[in-house]
Structure 1
Amino acid sequence: MKQRIKIDKAAPNTGALDFSYLLDAPAGKHGFTEVRNGNLHFADGTRARFIGFNLPTRSNTPDHETAERLAERFATMGVNVIRLHAYDAAPGPSGWSSSLENPLIDYDSGSSRYFNEKGLDRFDYFIAKLKEKGIYVQVDLLVARVFQDGDDLDYPDAPGSFYKSFTHVNERLIELQKEFATKLLCHVNPYTGLALIDDPAVMTIQVNNEDSVFRGTEDIKNDKGIIPYRQELQRRFNRYLLAKYDTKKNLAKAWTHDGICALGEEEDPEAGTVFFPEGNFYQVPNDPMGEWTGSVSQVANDPMGERTGVSPARYADFMEFGISVNRRYYGMMIDHIRSLGAKVPINTSNLLNGSADVYSHTGGDIMENNTYFNHPMPPFHQETLVVPGMREYVTSNPLTVHKDGIYMRTEMLQMATTAVVAGKPFILSEWNEYGVNPFHSTAFISMAAYACLNDWDGLMLYCYHTSESWNDQPDDVITDIFDAYNDPSLICQFGFMAKLFLKGLVRPAEHQVDLVFTKNDLKTLPSSFSMPNTFLPYITSLRNVFLDQGDTYTGNADVAVTAGFVNNGDLSQAEHAVYYSWSPYRDAMRHASGEGRLERLAEQTDEELPGAKLGDKLLVFNDIASLAGDGDYTTFAANLDAAFKRWGILPDDRGLVGNGLVSDTGEIIFDPIAGTFRIHTEGCTYFSGNPVDGIKLTKDITLTVSNDRLSAALLPMNCESVDHAETLLLTLMGHTGMDETVFTTEGFVTIVDHQGKLYADTPEGSLFVQSQSATLTALDTVGTKVAHIEGTPADGGVIFNLDGTLPAVHFLLKLK
């Protein structure tokens, strides 16, 4: 039943909802974070895991009272990290901009090189208050800085907004970034007595947000101030081509396949007229077997004109060039930060979605990535949003990609794992399932569970709020979908999620799978590049391995899987190997044939599967394009599952079981066809989705409801076992959002018009407890008692009637 509720963004949790016991204040008491054996630890050896929020733009310079209130609120929610994000944004009146009165950077000076003292004081105080409560910080160095003509730039007419890609290339922009890093990291905080460079409360330092030379060039190409930076990038690309090929004749030969040359007649590297492939918000895919005829056409000889088609050859060379640019830039920045005395791990960037992009960011100590589900499309409005292909998370099948006209996507886990790299800690630095779908609670807990299964190190949701004050946003209305402080599905489950992740209530996977990329794989990017990610991280631990020396894998995973963009990669030393190839060629330029290679490997097999052959050590796919080229990876997953079971890696009740994906630990079961997601471990129980068959929370606790969708989370309060606890925290909710919201579907697009007041669909049915006696108390969103629910003896236990009339989703259950 829809019940209106309120969520105050600054009120601390109390009683059963106070999760501050998960923190170990003050932050930094165990020493600096460091990398050990591929995970984050503190200097004293304690394993370090982090869960929390992004705070962007103006929210980084709150007034002192707001800083104190928010630090207290975060601690009681179980938050132990805050990402200080985009504090370099230009000032504006509201939202995603810095405070007009208290920005961190003094843009009024006509330059972006100086701090605003009032904003800096607020920034310092906020960090100090977070540290006191045991909350660590991630520091981002370049996110939304708007460079000014007063910064002594190489080119006039500085763009009026921040821009991507070119900050990796232009030497003056790199110099300005180093200067800012020095000023920010070496400034001594008067409230802690430490500079950020010396403060163990800093969890990591990130060089740059969502940035790469592979993308961002197309988005603002017509801005007058951007044109000279684009021209500089083109000059550098042409110099790379000359260094590699020496002459236009050699370049043309290298870019020729079957008599077709991908180099335009008007293009000449000596004249600097060979154009680079454009990148937008993502690294643009390139089919390994795409049309070779793609070249470049200029419109009216305009160097900024439309560019049509990208040949695989042009793409391959730009990937190689881009890798060198990214790695040089991040290497320079990391060296500079280390020279200042940085002791914590350094991250390069995030939003990494292509193999070349991921590889080019591996020079840092840790890997980060960003991913969203049901993210609205721009332009964004506070009340009305446009969502492409809006889906319900618990019924969205990860084995079938979602084609929304922009890119092919499945679920957040699949998108996130594209940037998980062997030997490096992994943090999901931005993620969310914004409350546009009425039932979206599954996404949060499932991501935390799979993060445990894959042994990740951090989860930071975007974002808590974009505000500098604790009392300027309502508690009963969603005024900005990106400000998640009063999303009931997230906030009311956050404590459960925090304990699940920080305490590792879901065990790490029992096995390891390596997805292996060769140098030639990096030079192309099929739209299906993350195909293995749609199955493997749901059942076991998956990581990427990049072969820097040769094409032979020498790792120690239980299974090695070729990335298979091109037909190379030697997995003969792997314990078990999976081979397939989207291209019959061994290289991205199609100069060397791989004809007969897969057939020879298949000679070592003895079992026929649909589109594949299986043996004691090998699984070989004959024609992956015919099997999975349309984006349905069900057969691919079924064949992997059959191989894993033959090899003894999975028992019959794990992996792909019917329509369900069961983790190799047996603790996570996801069935998108039935619309159910379940966790059952010693330390917690969780159900989300269609409750038609009832919900067995423990051997003694059963929930039966009439809600069409429900999430039920159970935590023990007085011990570590749900089966033996006498006091348990139960969180129950169905749909959430605003109670008069209008959804209008027009073709592939859903328009969401937020109206009404904040609500949660409360449980309607009964809770049966096999116990001599029991009490049930309803709690509000911060843990205050709402009502006592009377139980009735039944069948040797106690049954509680849940009529949905209480404005509560939390319940304290006590057994005797």
Structure 2
Amino acid sequence: MRNIHSILFIICLCLFTLHSARDVAEASEDWPLDKITLRTATPDLSGLNHKPAGIHGRVMAQGDQLIFEDGTPIRFWGANLQAYAIYFTEPRNIKAHAKRLAQLGFNLVRIHHHDSDWVQPNIFGENAKTTTQLNPAWLNKLDQWITALKDEGIYIWLDLHVGRRFTASDGVENFEELAGGQDKADAVGFNFVSPSIERLMKEFQTAFLSHKNKYTGLSYSEEPAVIAVQITNENDLTHHFGNILLPDKGVPRHSETYMALANAFAKEQGFDAERTWRAWEFGPSKIFLNDLEHKFFDRMAQSVRDTGFDGLISTTSLWGEMSIAGLPSQMRGGIIDTHSYGWEGEIDFDPRQRAGLLDWLAIAQVDGLPLSVSEWNIGTTLAEDRFVAPVRVAAMAAFQGWDAMMVYGYSQQGLNGHVFPENWSIASDPGMIWMMPAAAILYRAGHIRQAEQTYALCPDASDFFGRSIAPDTSIGIRTIIEQSRLVTCMPETPALPWLTATNLTGKSYQDLDPDRSYLKSGSGVVEADTGEFFRAFEKGQFVVNAENSQIVAGRFHGEPVKTSNVEFNVDNPMAAIAVQSLDQSALTQARRILISISGRAISVHPEDENFRIEPITGILRIQARPDLELISRDGRVGDVSAAHTVKDGVHEIDLGKVKGSRWLYLE
């Protein structure tokens, strides 16, 4: 029945989306054209970064938090830099974009798709005949990025394997059955049972991390600005790739190895051999697959350590609607990583009915370990409400106590001018960029407190491995995470002696029942237990009401939305407006206040950098110091004082008169 309801929901959503897109396209014909470029003025949040990155020593885990060697606590607001952006950005623009990233509030960049075959050239060169040699010219490009980012106080996350495809010249055993008649072969899944693929991956790790950056004089393994490495991206057997090793998949030599390992594990543990190899089923197979993954990751992590790297190691990610049964093998690295992509209308969904972007992230928070989110975004192409996501993700990350957040991505294209509109290159997307500084402030400046209550998801081993416990199957997960903190426990599992069971003794937790709703029947609002934010999903509104950040994002209905010190009167059907203190004082006492304004931005054409930008109109009323003046630092806008009046300690700002400026200051 759940599948039928899901199909009907998706059909209705698609029809609604098509209708909405047509209506928006017609309305946007009168919206002014604008674009985001490197020359577009932004707020300057670079003061949040210490420079250069690495001056406090290595980043390490202390329980479920990240700290520097000198004891300084840290959390990371980051972005991916991927593919052609790495290799085709000119040196002067590398420095300029590193500076811009810092100004926007970022202090972490993940290097991604540097080895992917669809990127030409990549780290191996252009259409290389072998992937066993690193190309010096393209390594030099990466050196330039790392150096420029480090200088701006931005730390680095390095992936070691993303989209590398092996060639016939690489020396992969049984290459022909992996390649299927092609001249290249993927490694994902097969790496867990192929000694030759493992050897090649180790050789890459060693060469890559031992490479000395000629601009810093340090190898990547020595570089304190490199906080983490990930062994392999989105690569698991427990959910996605276990089935490719089965006897009916046309890879007989790899299947023979897989079946021998499964049978040996079943015999050793006293499991039913038939159930142990059946990768698609829950039960003994999930225990065996975790053990197989763990042994591989254990060997790979030791290879990383042998290079001298003593930072964080992520094995892979919880991604693509995986259940918690995919988490145990990630324990080897010391930090858990996860990915999630939402959809248009994320602001509207009822958590009693379906899962959203944030639910899939929350289940990866293992008690006692830090959590990174190396990919998040809205998956719907340039969704009209995408501007809500940055502040919502930032608020939830701070509330849950997550440690490193990375949007996917800053850019996938060369950053020398024209950037095509796409989800994966927010550098030129007004819908996302306008809310990124507000999100960075929420998360990095501590404007949102961690939850007051923590719920622990602690099934025993029979349930943990025996059934799918995930947001799409658990109303308990979906209805708790916007109200209180959630952590996942590791179960006592005799068959996995390397897995440390979670010990909650002495800790204050509530047990989470995955099958119970924690939202009152009939409620249209889900609210944080700190009282600092809520999502009114029946209205499609996300509201932050903290002492120094007050934000409304989502749908407006022709009526004012009031927080403690701000009244938002917005004429548009949807928008996002953030009013935030920049000096850590409460809004009513702050000497500097940033106002961020975002809304609908419609791409004109896939090969045109211009967007149709919906003008935002309405009135803001802000209780603040009466001596503050309204200022815009956008050189195109000029004087905005005509939009501003002050009476009885209330600043009234006419949004229709700010001449299109999306970042304003009261100071």
Question: TM > 0.5 between the two?
Answer: yes
* Matched residue SS, 1:361: helix
> Among 522, 532, 553, which residue is 2:476 paired with?
532
**Counterpart AA for 2:431:** S
Distance in 2 of aligned mates of 1:355 and 1:511: 21
Structure richer in helix, relative to its length: 2
Distance in 1 of aligned mates of 2:607 and 2:419: 16
**Counterpart AA for 2:462:** N
Q: List per-residue Cα deviations over 1:372-396 (Å, max 9, x = no partner).
A: 012xxxxxxxxxxxxxxxx412212
> Among 305, 309, 328, which residue is 2:295 paired with?
328
Residue matched to 1:130: 149
* Matched residue SS, 2:655: strand
Residue matched to 1:63: 90
Distance in 2 of aligned mates of 1:11 and 1:525: 52
Aligned length: 619
Distance in 2 of aligned mates of 1:244 and 1:351: 25
Residue matched to 2:119: 98
Residue matched to 1:519: 461
Larger radius of gyration: 1
**Counterpart AA for 2:74:** A
Preserved CA contact (<8 Å) 2:41 2:633 = no
Preserved CA contact (<8 Å) 2:434 2:597 = no
Distance in 1 of aligned mates of 2:569 and 2:418: 40
RMSD value over aligned CA atoms?
Answer: 3.2
Residue matched to 2:401: 455
Preserved CA contact (<8 Å) 2:577 2:595 = yes
Residue matched to 1:503: 445
> Among 303, 310, 316, which residue is 2:283 paired with?
316
Preserved CA contact (<8 Å) 1:139 1:205 = yes
Preserved CA contact (<8 Å) 1:733 1:762 = no
Distance in 1 of aligned mates of 2:607 and 2:351: 28
**Counterpart AA for 1:51:** W
Residue 502 of structure 1 deviates from its aligned partner by 1.3
Q: List per-residue Cα deviations over 1:364-421 (Å, max 9, x = no partner).
A: 11011000012xxxxxxxxxxxxxxxx41221222211xxxxxxxx111101112111
Q: List per-residue Cα deviations over 1:266-289 (Å, max 9, x = no partner).
A: xxxxxxxx97445xxxxxxxxxxx
Residue matched to 1:281: none
Preserved CA contact (<8 Å) 1:515 1:543 = yes
Residue 812 of structure 1 deviates from its aligned partner by 2.1
Distance in 2 of aligned mates of 1:428 and 1:29: 24
Residue 462 of structure 1 deviates from its aligned partner by 0.5
Provide structure 1 residue ranges, at least 5 long, that are not aligned to the other structure. 91-96, 256-261, 264-273, 279-311, 375-390, 402-409, 562-577, 581-623, 625-634, 642-655, 742-752
CA gap of 1:65–1:416, structure 2 versus 1, over 3 A, is same
Residue matched to 1:414: 359
Residue matched to 1:559: 509
Distance in 1 of aligned mates of 2:298 and 2:137: 33
CA gap of 1:57–1:147, structure 2 versus 1, over 3 A, is same
CA gap of 1:798–1:175, structure 2 versus 1, over 3 A, is closer
CA gap of 1:120–1:492, structure 2 versus 1, over 3 A, is same
TM-score by length of 1: 0.70
Distance in 1 of aligned mates of 2:160 and 2:590: 46
* Matched residue SS, 2:116: coil
Preserved CA contact (<8 Å) 1:164 1:215 = no
Q: 1:559-708 residue pairs with structure 2 within 5 A?
A: 559-561=509-511, 624=515, 636-638=517-519, 658-692=523-557, 693-699=559-565, 701-708=566-573
Residue 554 of structure 1 deviates from its aligned partner by 4.4
Distance in 2 of aligned mates of 1:719 and 1:559: 31
Preserved CA contact (<8 Å) 2:190 2:245 = no
Distance in 2 of aligned mates of 1:809 and 1:187: 43
* Matched residue SS, 1:707: coil
Preserved CA contact (<8 Å) 2:167 2:185 = no
CA gap of 1:718–1:35, structure 2 versus 1, over 3 A, is closer
Residue matched to 1:397: 350
Preserved CA contact (<8 Å) 2:59 2:312 = yes
Preserved CA contact (<8 Å) 1:668 1:679 = yes
CA gap of 1:797–1:554, structure 2 versus 1, over 3 A, is closer
Q: 1:9-88 residue pairs with structure 2 within 5 A?
A: 9-11=37-39, 13=41, 17-61=43-87, 62-88=89-115
Preserved CA contact (<8 Å) 1:698 1:722 = no
1:198 aligns with 2:222: yes
CA gap of 1:239–1:63, structure 2 versus 1, over 3 A, is same
Distance in 2 of aligned mates of 1:138 and 1:731: 29
* Matched residue SS, 1:673: coil
Residue 146 of structure 1 deviates from its aligned partner by 0.9
Preserved CA contact (<8 Å) 1:27 1:132 = yes
* Matched residue SS, 2:39: coil
Distance in 2 of aligned mates of 1:499 and 1:319: 41
> Among 330, 335, 341, which residue is 1:361 paired with?
330
1:437 aligns with 2:383: yes
Preserved CA contact (<8 Å) 2:347 2:554 = yes
**Counterpart AA for 1:508:** Q
> Among 141, 148, 152, which residue is 2:160 paired with?
141
CA gap of 1:657–1:450, structure 2 versus 1, over 3 A, is farther
CA gap of 1:464–1:9, structure 2 versus 1, over 3 A, is farther
Residue 495 of structure 1 deviates from its aligned partner by 0.9
Q: List per-residue Cα deviations over 1:334-390 (Å, max 9, x = no partner).
A: 11111221111111111342222112222111011000012xxxxxxxxxxxxxxxx
Distance in 2 of aligned mates of 1:324 and 1:221: 16
Residue 33 of structure 1 deviates from its aligned partner by 0.3
Q: List per-residue Cα deviations over 1:753-810 (Å, max 9, x = no partner).
A: 9999413333222233557566434454x89646443445667755443337832222
Preserved CA contact (<8 Å) 2:189 2:242 = no
1:728 aligns with 2:593: yes
Distance in 2 of aligned mates of 1:798 and 1:668: 23
1:776 aligns with 2:616: no
Distance in 1 of aligned mates of 2:33 and 2:203: 48
Residue 117 of structure 1 deviates from its aligned partner by 1.4
Residue 80 of structure 1 deviates from its aligned partner by 0.8
* Matched residue SS, 2:237: coil
* Matched residue SS, 1:208: coil
* Matched residue SS, 1:89: coil
* Matched residue SS, 1:464: strand
Distance in 1 of aligned mates of 2:643 and 2:240: 59
CA gap of 1:176–1:694, structure 2 versus 1, over 3 A, is same
Distance in 2 of aligned mates of 1:755 and 1:183: 40
- Stretch of structure 1 that moved more, 420-429 or 527-536: 527-536
CA gap of 1:398–1:155, structure 2 versus 1, over 3 A, is same
Residue matched to 2:339: 370
Residue 207 of structure 1 deviates from its aligned partner by 0.6
* Matched residue SS, 1:326: helix
Preserved CA contact (<8 Å) 1:675 1:690 = yes
Preserved CA contact (<8 Å) 1:13 1:77 = no
Residue 10 of structure 1 deviates from its aligned partner by 3.0
Distance in 1 of aligned mates of 2:205 and 2:435: 36
Distance in 2 of aligned mates of 1:80 and 1:151: 37
TM-score by length of 2: 0.85
> Among 408, 411, 419, which residue is 1:473 paired with?
419
